[in-house]
Amino acid sequence: MARDVLRYDRMIEDALRSVVRDSLKKAAETGLPGNHHFYITFATGHDGVSMPKQLRAQHSEEMTIILQHQYWDLEVGEDSFAVSLSFNRAQQRLHIPYAAITTFADPSVQLGLQFQARNAEDENEAVIETDSPEKPAIAENGDRAVVQAEAQDGAGEVIALDSFRKNSP
């Protein structure tokens, strides 16, 4: 059996995650211009997420943070970022891998991105196997990336990449 290792769904999702990383880099370097602000939702139980125990107890599965006016020490790396935020008037440090992010939005420009949280074992899973090099194959359980782009009039459209995949014969 031939092995198809071109996971376009993952490549697209990685490209969209780079939008998150690049946006955070700009915010770390120059601050957020104008009305820009980020809503970032992440899986709190994801490998590599570091946060205070009391916050994890309150948000056992998922948490949304907002980067707008009061955030400190934003450090942006290739695979993760760290930021200090105020919770009950006390600064708390969070470390979040990009793979843990499930939603990134900047409402000031009606941008919203949705992701599937991915752990390290997801990265190594399911090389697609086909009977012949000419026969396309689609992963049964492939991650999907959803892009939401809204027009200035507020009408939005969600595009699921799964809808562009062909079913295996």
CATH of the domain at 51: 2.30.30.220
Residue 169 lies in a domain: no
Residue 130 lies in a domain: yes
Task: Compute φ and ψ for 160, nearest 5 degrees.
Answer: -95, 125
Alpha-carbon distance 166 to 126, whole Å?
17
pTM: 0.69
Average pLDDT over residues 12-32: 94
pLDDT value of position 7: 86
Percent of the chain with pLDDT over 90: 56
Give the confidence band of 9 by pLDDT, cuts at 50, 70, 90: confident
Structural domain boundaries, residue 127? 2-164
Number of domains composing the chain: 1
Q: What confidence tens digit (pLDDT) does each residue in 97-148 have?
A: 999 999 999 999 999 999 887 765 555 444 333 343 333 333 333 333 333 3
